[in-house]
Structure 1
Amino acid sequence: MRAFTEDQIMFREAYRRFLDTEIAPHMEEWREAGIVDRKAFRKAGDQGFLMIWPDEAYGGLGDDDFRYEQIIIEETVRAGCANWYNTLHSRLVGPYLQRFGSEELRRRVLPGCVSGETILGIAMTEAGAGSDLAGMRSTAEDRGDHFLLNGSKTYISNGINADLVVVAAKLAGAERKHALVLLLVERGMAGFERGRNLKKMGMSAQDTAELFFDNVQVPKANVLGEPGKGFYHLMEGLAEERLIAAVGAAANARRAFDVTRDYVMQRVLFGKPLSEQQNTQFRMAEMDAEIDLVQTYVDHCVVEHNAGRLTGNMGAKAKMLATEVEWKMMDLGVQLHGGAGYMDEYPISHMFTDARINRILAGSSEVMRLIIGRDIFSQNYRSMLA
């Protein structure tokens, strides 16, 4: 049995109703527009569904139990609203402000983030620097009372909607290739421009844009953490980021299973439902077991994360396994739908294209294997298993 409290079960039911009434009915419209209406963030914030963890002083509930975010992710996926990608705002970017921002900065910006009035984004990726942050070319030069930011970023989620963007840049003049600084760039700062809303294979309602910085003066009050140590600040959140991806992938795999199960029970082939064909039963049985196993490990990682024991190795394993099983289920789902699976009027079609990015974002499956493989052959491998 999954370990959710009574309050969390009630929270799940309330959030499910919110999605069904306020978000899900608009998803097709937002997919067509290529962007989620900003009102979605305000509506979620008004009902306490946007950011759970900030202290009450900043407008939150002050509850950092990751299971609340797990519920939000699972229910958002279940409702077919993953394109909203609200967890990017709430749990991927928001914590940087809490961990590394000054108290003055937190008091200034977190209440708007909790209410949904202020939307967050994070900008690391460049044309030649994705998983390898050492290839970053954007620079930030210390000018005394401010940093002068120059460069560009691409594939930035919430790139159009974001009011505050955490930007990673190389610290100008530093000798170390990983000497980065994290700067909070605000909408309207001189020299900060947005490019086009990029067309993508999937996740069409998630605005993804290019960002440009031309001599942007970022005040020292907007520096997150210690200049030069931005790389290490980014690494601190990676295990959780990969767990977030794993939670979503496991939930999406289960939704694809349910959608496919419903379809094959109705589809008649050679005089009987497709669900009565042995191949269908064997393939679906295999996927049912694999999804359950992945979900069990993901739930275990959530428990470990709440206890402060989630390691980079565990996050990498959860992310790799969940996204690989998700993709396996998506491919089977389309196959068992036959020609219908290629039609966008069937949910499995856009689920398939939406899911393809998940084996790339937050570290590709190949990078996850590299991380896990390095640990396997490290000297402390046995102690990690104890």
Structure 2
Amino acid sequence: MSAKVMKELSLEEVAQHNKPDDLWIVVDSKVYDLSRFKDLHPGGVSVLTNTDIAGKEATEAFYGLHRHEVLERPQYARLQIGNIKGEKPQIISRPPGAISDVPYSEPTWLTQGFHSPYFTDNHRQFQKAMRQFIDEHVYEDAQARDADGKRPSQHVFDKMAELNLHAMRLGPGKHLEGRTLMGGLVKPEEFDYFHELIITQELVRCGSRVYGDALLGGKVIGLPPVLNFGKPELKAKVIPEVFSGKKFICLAISEPQAGSDVIGMTTTAIKVRKGAPIPKDGQEEEIPEGEEFDWIVNGGKKWITNGMFADYFTVGVKSESGLTVLLIPRVEGVETKPIKTSYGHAAGTALITFDNVRVPSANTLGEEGMGIFVILSNFNHERWVMCCGSARSQRVIIDECLRWVSQRKAFGKPLHSQAVVRSKIAGMIARTESVQAWLENITYQMTHMSYKEQSTKLAGQIAFLKTYSTKCAQDTARDAVQIFGGRGITQSGMGKFIEHYYRTVPFDSLLGGAEDVLSDLGVRQAIRQMPKNARL
């Protein structure tokens, strides 16, 4: 199909078309014929006919009400009939993969002229490829799934699998050996936590909190127990299925009664001989040591991310020997029901019930009765990933706010002319920069510590950072709504990302441990490390 030929027009020519049935306007040097469109205008015909824009330059008026993306939609782009002679568009869409030039909308290591002791040239190449991938393959699907609440499209999972992104999201380790990462951009033995930080922070840019979890957030926390504690035969079957994006897994720990009280969980598992009938009295059989057996699981789990579309469930259960962790496939007796949450349905948040579910003893993760160590071993990484996402999502809001206060006029002046508005943005910037700096320092420590060292030295640091980052995020969300006004609580148009952020940001303050719980954890760890001879 041949491209539409655009006329070269003067402002004088445009001015002649200023009637309701013959209505042209100019937006950023482009001429649009709205004669037939005016009755379809979402804001009503009077906005076009009763205001001083018919036949005139309307750029300022347009960007006071609409996002630039509106002009790029096919149904509106086709309304363009020409360009103003001698003028070129000033507002250019950012090409896929590009770095934003809006101040503070990128971490300093990506900002022109700034330096970093942490990020290498390989990290920069990796970030560029990751951003290109998100812009080309993820962003549009994220917006669509945020709107319709469906699971992310399979083609996104498949594209991620081609680059081994599913494997990389679990961090550095032996599971990367022999894999081609990001098309060969980084060697498995050179992949570190800064590469993983980049993956998480670029995913956040899709602008949908629920989609971030839907994009196998359950795998990030549900697969490591299998990877680290599963038997070889189990790992050989499950890990390739999940890394290929063909099957999904989630972590099922929280319960309706117990919540985050892991020790107080009530989901039970009893032993029976392999293939034996389920005992009616619910009593466990005595199984000779070394003999295979079946677990019979009963109970329920709640608020489980990805539970609705998971094929495997990493489940904490109460056994006779104590807390035990099992990998339960979606078999007879496993039922999932959706839970409606304020951040949307795409993540597949579920209530899960287990009714006499038979699980082979080979699916036990770690030792019986030692499940607390299986569960706790993953907490630091889970919380660190949340910090990565929180830090980057706050920059999305800074970007939105700086653009808005520069184009929005109030009382005849740009919004940023008001000191109270500048003060709010100053707080956003200070909070975000401090979160990122602390995050990069902890990430650097992680790259130079063994897993055991991380557990003993960084648990408190990561707990404090998560609490601090989510509190900062909520302050930023509240200030952003004030800056956008009514648009900040509207799920479409100029403030749609602000509304979404304000509505969904409380999730980060709860997942992985509530703020008060984590603050107390950090202090308790600090007290345990106090030297015996410390005195004032």
Q: What residue number does 1:45 align with?
A: 161
Matched, 1:190 2:332: yes
Q: CA deviation at 1:38?
A: 4.8
Between the aligned partners of 2:126 and 2:216, the Cα distance in structure 1 is 16
Unaligned runs of 5+ residues in structure 1 are: none
TM-score for both structures, normalised by structure 2: 0.67
Q: What residue number does 1:314 align with?
A: 461
Contact 1:34–1:205, Cα closer than 8 Å, also in 2: yes
Matched, 1:181 2:324: yes
RMSD of Structure 2 on Structure 1 (CA): 2.1
Q: CA deviation at 1:361?
A: 0.7
Partner of 1:280, secondary structure, is: helix
Greater C-alpha radius of gyration: 2
Q: What residue number does 2:299 align with?
A: 151
Larger RCO of the pair (alpha carbons < 8 Å, separation 6+): 1
Cα shift readout 1:211-254 (whole Å, capped 9, x = no counterpart):
11111111122111111111121111111111111111111111
Q: What residue number does 1:370 align with?
A: 520
The 5 Å alignment of 1:33-72 reads 33-39=148-154, 40-52=156-168, 53=172, 54-56=175-177, 62-63=188-189, 65-72=192-199
TM-score for both structures, normalised by structure 1: 0.92
Aligned pair in 2 of structure 1 residues 141, 57: CA closer, same or farther (>3 Å)?
farther
Aligned pair in 2 of structure 1 residues 334, 318: CA closer, same or farther (>3 Å)?
same
Q: CA deviation at 1:112?
A: 1.5
Between the aligned partners of 1:362 and 1:266, the Cα distance in structure 2 is 38
Cα shift readout 1:169-212 (whole Å, capped 9, x = no counterpart):
111x34xxxx211111112x1211111x2211114421101111
Matched, 1:209 2:350: yes
Between the aligned partners of 2:363 and 2:444, the Cα distance in structure 1 is 33
Between the aligned partners of 1:22 and 1:46, the Cα distance in structure 2 is 12
Match of 2:205 among 62, 65, 78: 78
Q: What residue number does 1:24 align with?
A: 139
The 5 Å alignment of 1:340-379 reads 340-345=487-492, 346-376=496-526, 378-379=527-528
Partner of 1:185, secondary structure, is: strand
Q: How many residues align?
A: 376
Identity %: 28
Match of 1:105 among 234, 238, 241: 234
Aligned pair in 2 of structure 1 residues 59, 12: CA closer, same or farther (>3 Å)?
closer
Q: CA deviation at 1:140?
A: 1.0
Cα shift readout 1:261-290 (whole Å, capped 9, x = no counterpart):
111111111111111211111221122112
Between the aligned partners of 2:248 and 2:180, the Cα distance in structure 1 is 15
Contact 2:163–2:180, Cα closer than 8 Å, also in 1: no
Q: CA deviation at 1:325?
A: 0.7
Matched, 1:6 2:6: no
Q: CA deviation at 1:148?
A: 0.9
Deviates more, 1:69-78 or 1:24-33: 24-33
Partner of 1:51, secondary structure, is: helix
Partner of 2:313, secondary structure, is: strand
Contact 2:464–2:522, Cα closer than 8 Å, also in 1: yes
Between the aligned partners of 2:439 and 2:261, the Cα distance in structure 1 is 26
Between the aligned partners of 1:305 and 1:47, the Cα distance in structure 2 is 24
Contact 1:58–1:110, Cα closer than 8 Å, also in 2: no
Q: CA deviation at 1:90?
A: 4.8
Contact 2:387–2:465, Cα closer than 8 Å, also in 1: yes
The 5 Å alignment of 1:220-369 reads 220-308=361-449, 309-310=453-454, 311-345=458-492, 346-369=496-519
Letter matched to residue 305 of structure 2: S
Unaligned runs of 5+ residues in structure 2 are: 1-114, 182-186, 274-292
Q: Where has structure 1 moved over 6 Å in runs of 4 or more?
A: 58-61
